[in-house]
């Protein structure tokens, strides 16, 4: 009974792979955690709610596993059409996942949006892990109380306590996921860390700078698209982006006094894009008023969202 044919080569038998979706209320730290686990910035982060608008996949390899993290928009009670598209997209991202990580901001606890998410998770069949994030901000006693309260509501397989910001607890999570995912070949080339095209990541980076710079409702009324991407013979790249806003008064705010605001946004964005590309970047930002962009199907297509009718 020797020399039986192997059904798989040792390499393929050893590899694991799968999709791990992160769900949670806005601002729970999903994008920060994806960036921390991938080890590079693939998804933009701000202190404001509703930063992530569409699905962003960040890819990590750990031990013999390729873990595809699916960053989703925060889940909340939608009001506008764009909100509905974001929330539908978030739940959709969970549908195809092998494992779901449910993020709770440990400082906020189970309130409002987080409570509603836990309620709806009862109907989700995939294995679910509870991730208490921002543990750098709370006392251990509070974490234990939160763990038991959440586990009473939902049948979590495991609970992890992490700080996406400092990286605390993140290696344990990666170790666990790398073993927990099913056997199978990798989905992406070994060195790929994101599935977002560079044009889109560049638009996201500008949107991040806009969020960081502007206040109140303005960020939510704006949208950024990369319109031109031209590689120059001298090795530099010329990028043109349009910032869409809804009203003329908003355009004035984005431009700022003598164009100061847009210049600062452009400079911060250009520096970050250049750092990623390792290339000299000439970035040109234009502001356009498009009153009803929040109801324009074409804008949704650009963002990778379905248009809710
Ligand atoms: N102190 C602390 N802050 C954190 C941690 N993780 C994330 N944050 C902060 O929380 C804020 C929101 O982080 P994001 O990663 O954008 O949150 P998100 O869940 O992706 O938010 P949406 O995309 O709006 O749904 C940012 O200011 C982060 O720096 C953490 O572990 N500790
Ligand atoms: Mg996010």
**251 Cβ partners below 8 Å, 6+ apart?**
245, 287, 288, 289
**Cα separation of 53 and 301, whole Å?**
12
Regarding the beta carbon of 168 and ligand 1, being less than 6 Å apart is answered: no
Ligand nearest to the CA of residue 26, numbered in listed order: 1
pLDDT below 50 — which residues of the chain? 1-10
The atom number, within ligand 1, closest to the CA of 35 reads 15
Whether the CB of 165 sits within 6 Å of ligand 1: yes
> Can you give the pLDDT at residue 5?
45
Report d(CA 88, CA 177) in Å as an integer.
Answer: 26
Distance CA 76, CA 24 (A): 9
26 C-beta closer than 6 A to ligand 1: yes
Instruction: Decide: 30 in ligand 1 pocket, CB within 6 A.
Output: yes
Question: Nearest C-alpha to atom 8 of ligand 1 is from which residue?
Answer: 29
**Ligand 1 and 58: CB distance under 6 A:** no
Please give the pLDDT value at position 13. Answer: 57
pLDDT score, position 4? 45
Q: Say what angle helices 30-38 and 170-180 make with each other, to 10 degrees.
A: 80
Q: Within the chain, what is the greatest distance between any pair of CA atoms?
A: 83
Cα distances (Å, whole numbers) of residue 97 to 23, 94, 140, 153, 187: 11, 5, 31, 21, 13
Q: pLDDT tens-digit profile of 188-208?
A: 999 999 999 999 999 999 999
* Euclidean distance between CA atoms 69 and 71, whole angstroms: 6
Local structure of 87: helix, strand or coil: helix
Report in angstroms the alpha-carbon separations of 262 from 239, 285, 293.
15, 8, 20
Using the mean position of ligand 1's atoms as its centre, give its distance from the Cα of residue 105 in Å: 8
């Amino acid at each position: 009974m020797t020399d039986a044919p192997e059904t798989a080569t040792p390499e393929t038998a050893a590899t694991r792979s799968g999709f791990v979706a992160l769900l949670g209320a806005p601002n729970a730290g999903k994008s920060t955690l994806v960036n921390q686990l991938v080890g590079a910035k693939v998804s933009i982060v701000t202190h404001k709610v509703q930063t992530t608008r569409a699905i962003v996949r960040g890819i990590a390899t750990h031990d013999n596993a390729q873990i595809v993290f699916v960053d989703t928009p925060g889940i909340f009670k939608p009001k506008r059409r764009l909100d509905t598209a974001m929330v539908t997209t978030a739940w959709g991202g969970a549908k195809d996942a092998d494992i779901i990580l449910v993020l709770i901001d440990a400082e906020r606890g189970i309130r409002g949006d987080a409570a509603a998410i836990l309620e709806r998770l009862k109907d989700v069949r995939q294995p679910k892990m509870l991730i208490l994030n921002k543990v750098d901000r709370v006392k251990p006693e509070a974490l234990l109380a939160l763990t038991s309260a959440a586990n009473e509501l939902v049948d979590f397989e495991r609970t992890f306590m992490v700080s996406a910001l400092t990286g605390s607890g993140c290696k344990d999570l990666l170790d666990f996921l790398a073993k927990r995912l099913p056997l199978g070949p990798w989905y992406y080339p070994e060195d790929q860390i994101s599935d977002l095209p560079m044009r889109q990541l560049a638009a996201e980076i500008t949107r991040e700078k806009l969020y960081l710079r502007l206040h109140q409702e303005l960020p939510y009324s704006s949208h950024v698209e990369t319109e031109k991407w031209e590689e120059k013979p001298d090795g530099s790249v010329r990028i043109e982006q349009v910032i869409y806003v809804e009203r003329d008064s908003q355009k004035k705010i984005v431009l700022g006094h003598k164009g100061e605001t847009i210049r600062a946004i452009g400079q911060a964005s250009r520096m970050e894009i250049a750092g990623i590309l390792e290339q000299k970047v000439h970035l040109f930002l234009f502001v356009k008023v498009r009153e009803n962009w929040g109801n324009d199907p074409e804008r949704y297509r650009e963002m990778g969202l379905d248009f809710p009718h």
